[in-house]
Chain A
Amino acid sequence: MLGLNKKDTSLLIVVAILALAAPFLLNPFPTNSAMAQFNAGYPDLMQRFVIFGIFAIGFNILFGLTGYLSFGHAAFLGVGSYAAVWMFKLLSYNVVPAIALSVVVAGIFSVLIGYVSLRRSGIYFSILTLAFAQMSFALAYSVLSNPKFNLTNGETGLQVYADDPQILHRDGLPDVPHLFGWAMRDNFLELKLGGWEFTFNNGYYLCALIMLVVFYLSIRLFRSPFGLMLRAVKSNQNRLNYTGLNPKPYTLAAFIISGMYAGLAGGLLAAMDPLAGAERMQWTASGEVVLMTILGGAGTLIGPVLGAGFIKYFENIFSKINDNVLHQWFAFMPDGMEDFMVFIVHPFVGKGWHLTLGILFMLVVTFLPGGLVEGGQRLLNVIRNRGRKPADPKDPEHHPKETPHVAE
């Protein structure tokens, strides 16, 4: 279907079902139950799942395929957000021109930064992208925000004011970001079934649809000759050169594509909440997308989406857990034991979420370089091997399969 093989088609369908049914799937607990704190079906959280999913899918095209580790991709996200908010200020609150411009501007930025950074490889490339990103942050935070020339509105962040031109704005259109009158922040359906509540948000569904489209494009890219060349860049640039292929334009193209994905994510962030701040460009924000991609599984199709969802979900849940919640959890224990457990767990939850994340990340890089996807595969293998007799005559080594020419 859609030019994909069977396996990829089913992957796409699974992702589509997950994305479209998210308001149900992420709210499995009744609103009044104790478990409701684990619900994640709120519009703004779901929006962040898919937007950062897009960001990570794009980052994966560069890092997962070519192995070039960029520490500056948040710059493109930030640029995308600024571009979108400027469109809101100048034209109207319609999200279409805003998102289009954010992709274009991020693309132009990534041409410039990519062209320069890709003249070096390895750690030099990482440090160059880091330097560019920090420079962009400084530019946005202070340099481009002065009375004479205010492009970014500095610390306050760029937002829409009442006296902005908005030349295409007409009466009757909502005064918030909208898609041809369809306000992003509105919910088109709020279902109450028994104790459960499900919210269907306009903005979320726009993001989810866009995510599905770009996810589909990334599957096509992975299976294409271009994707193959990118993996060849990672594997052996020397051989690539002596095979008559120029690695530079391939890596630059990958860089630009991933930059545009980041810009798209930035534009969507602004479309959901019309505000753009410089902190979105800081290098720790770039680090976050690296974490998402690695945690999920760099170089795999589904990994980055999983990683983005995983991090955003636990960020939200963990930061809500405070000592009261902990005491509830461990209430079944004897008193001293209970206090002790709360004492032990306390540093890792609430504001300590980053500590947990850091530890998790170190563990993954050290023991599970393939991320959650590799972990899942290993787990599956263990389960399968258990069900199998010890001496299996069908040893795959001696019977190479005919079909899987293209490695997963």
Chain B
Amino acid sequence: MDAILLQILNGLDKGSAYALIALGLTLIFGTLGVVNFAHGALFMLGAFCAVTLQRVLSASYEVIDETKVDFLGNPLKVKTPYVEGWFGPEVGGAIIDWAVPLSILIAIPFMIAVGFIMERGLIKHFYKRPHADQILVTFGLAIVLQEVIKYFFGANPIQTPPPDALLGVVNIGAPLSLELAYPIWRLVYFFFAIAIIGGVFSFLQFTTFGMVVRAGMADRETVGLLGIDIDRRFTIMFGLAAAVAGLAGVMYGPINPPNYHMGMDFLVLSFVVVVVGGMGSLPGAVLAGFLLGILESFASTTWATTTIPGINQIIIYLVAIIVLLTRPRGLMGRKGVMED
């Protein structure tokens, strides 16, 4: 029992990332009809927002501490981050410590801006072109984005630790009197993902804007005929989807140190998630994201990997192939949407 629960929990963090990326992919596909191969790169950009902020905050100047000497007898040079100099060591230290969560604040406007520029500058010209062209040009963009990041940040993974307060593990089985040690940050990530998903859904459900977008997803032409400027709204949707992917990336850093190709790694799996969930279905994307994350976690247990070596590496693809062949519209896809 404990073991099963633990595997489910272990699947949640990856599942959350899958769900968030797949949600953005589905938003873009459902509203704009565009297959965005650069979506993984947006996730990666988000993660590097956190890296950048951490570096900026840690920017230091040197002061000579007259009271101490180093082992050669010279006055000791102490590096002090500017923020600590401005706000005092207490507050400044805390700001640096909380760099990752703080990055959310810069990631939101940054990612929305990236989304706008991408849609207006590139994607817009591809609405009427075949899906293959959309795949190709966004694939090219994904390469460009990841190479730019590689140029500035290098090829190695960069450690982005969570705040000290959120380090370590917590026994979340305590209320059930079970022994379930779970890293705090992963729990944070899960609730963060739930919050974003909830936010996106309520935005679509309860605002007029969301209503128009949902109507547009169902029947773009009719909504256009009603005299609603659907294109402008879709641009905003693209920004939103980019922000969702970016936020998923920002908070993922402490789980796996970001590197320039993390976007590509997640992209393929996220596409699989979208397909399993049902192309164009938002709840399907979220559900499939978590399900596949959990499935992957079960496949990674020693029992599974000793029975079938490497099953953890291929399980998601196997599921996707089976789903596509037996139920092409996915778990929750509408009938007739992109079925052939």
Contact = CB atoms under 8 A, between A and B. Distances in A.
A116 B318 CA distance: 12
Nearest to B126: A366
Contacts of B125: 366
A358 B264 contact: no
Contact of A366 (B137, B275, B311, B321): B137
Interface residues of A, number: 43
A283 interface: yes
Nearest to A347: B151
Given A122-B131, A284-B264, A365-B133, A358 B320 contact: no
Given A116-B321, A128-B324, A134-B317, A287 B139 contact: yes
Contacts of A130: 268, 271
B136 interface: yes
B330 to A, nearest CB: 10
Interface string B309-321: 1110110011011
Interface in B246-271: 264, 268, 271
B97 interface: no
A142 B271 contact: no
A362 B144 contact: yes
Contacts of A365: 133, 136-137, 140
Contacts of B264: 284
A138 B136 contact: no
Interface in A102-143: 116, 119-124, 126-128, 130-132, 134-135, 138-139, 141-143
B147 A352 contact: yes
A362 B140 contact: yes
Contact of B268 (A120, A122, A283): A283
B212 to A, nearest CB: 25
A359 B144 contact: yes
Interface in B181-200: none
B72 interface: no
A146 interface: yes
A294 interface: yes
Contacts of A139: 310, 313-314
A135 B310 contact: no
B91 interface: no
A355 B325 contact: no
B137 A355 contact: no
Nearest to B321: A131
A54 interface: no
Contact of B151 (A126, A143, A355): A355
Contacts of A142: 309-310, 313
Contact of B35 (A123, A290, A351, A352): A123
A120 B313 contact: no
A394 to B, nearest CB: 34
B268 A134 contact: yes
B117 interface: no
A28 interface: no
Interface string A361-388: 1100110010000000000000000000
B136 A355 contact: no
A128 B310 CA distance: 20
Given A124-B324, A138-B313, A142-B310, A355 B147 contact: yes
Nearest to B134: A123
A131 B130 CA distance: 21
A67 interface: yes
B143 interface: yes
A283 B139 CA distance: 12
A46 interface: no
B106 interface: no
A69 interface: yes
Interface in B120-171: 122, 125, 130-133, 135-137, 139-144, 147-148, 150-151
A120 B133 CA distance: 18
A31 B264 CA distance: 41
A362 B313 contact: no
B272 interface: yes
Contacts of B136: 69, 290, 294, 361, 365
Contacts of B131: 122-123, 126
Interface string A183-203: 000000000000000000000
Contact of B132 (A69, A116, A143, A351): A69
Q: Which of A116, A119, A365 lies at the interface centre, i.e. has the most chain B CB atoms within 10 A of its CB?
A: A365
Contacts of B313: 138-139, 141-143
A138 to B, nearest CB: 4
A131 B132 contact: no
Leading 7 A-B pairs by shortest Cβ distance: A143-B310, A358-B143, A138-B313, A355-B147, A358-B144, A362-B140, A135-B317
21 contacts: A67-B132, A116-B321, A120-B328, A120-B340, A121-B340, A122-B340, A124-B324, A124-B328, A128-B321, A132-B317, A138-B314, A142-B309, A143-B310, A144-B310, A284-B264, A355-B148, A355-B151, A358-B142, A358-B143, A362-B140, A366-B125
Given A127-B272, A351-B150, 11 more contacts: A121-B340, A123-B279, A123-B338, A135-B314, A138-B310, A148-B309, A290-B136, A347-B151, A355-B151, A359-B144, A366-B125
Interface of B: 35, 122, 125, 130-133, 135-137, 139-144, 147-148, 150-151, 264, 268, 271-272, 275, 279, 308-311, 313-314, 317-318, 320-321, 324-325, 328, 338, 340
